[in-house]
Amino acid sequence: DGGITQSPKYLFRKEGQNVTLSCEQNLNHDAMYWYRQDPGQGLRLIYYSQIVNDFQKGDIAEGYSVSREKKESFPLTVTSAQKNPTAFYLCASSWDSMNTEAFFGQGTRLTVV
């Protein structure tokens, strides 16, 4: 089945450690996105990529890094520089940045202790 897979569903890390969240899609979509969601809040864009080997910062990129070495994959690294990393992280993809129907993965809940 085609779709977007985020892993793991739940992730626990100690403060000061970097952690990488996985996002894989087999929809042949060019564009991929990472959003952060805090309790009771909307979605805020962290990074997005319109094509392989290219990505742009979103509204809250500080403390995060991404790579887009393959079309199917867009991993997000939460670095120790992110002051409040505990949140629900959502990955999405769309055919391209002009085609707006974005489809989301199941999300990863990151808890930093």
The site for another protein (CB under 8 A) is made up of 4, 6, 33, 35, 40-45, 48, 50, 58-59, 88, 90, 92, 97-98, 100-107, 109
Residue 17 phi, psi (nearest 5): -95, 145
Residue by residue, DSSP assigns 2-47 as --EEEE-SEEEE-TT--EEEEEEE-S--SEEEEEEE-TT--EEEEE
- Beta strand pairing call for 54-57 and 4-7: unpaired
Q: Could you tell me the smallest distance in angstroms from the CB atom of residue 107 to another protein?
A: 5
Which residue number, 43 or 80, has a Cβ lying nearer to another protein? 43
Q: Could you tell me the smallest distance in angstroms from the CB atom of residue 91 to another protein?
A: 8
Which residue number, 16 or 84, has a Cβ lying nearer to another protein? 84
Which residue number, 28 or 56, has a Cβ lying nearer to another protein? 56
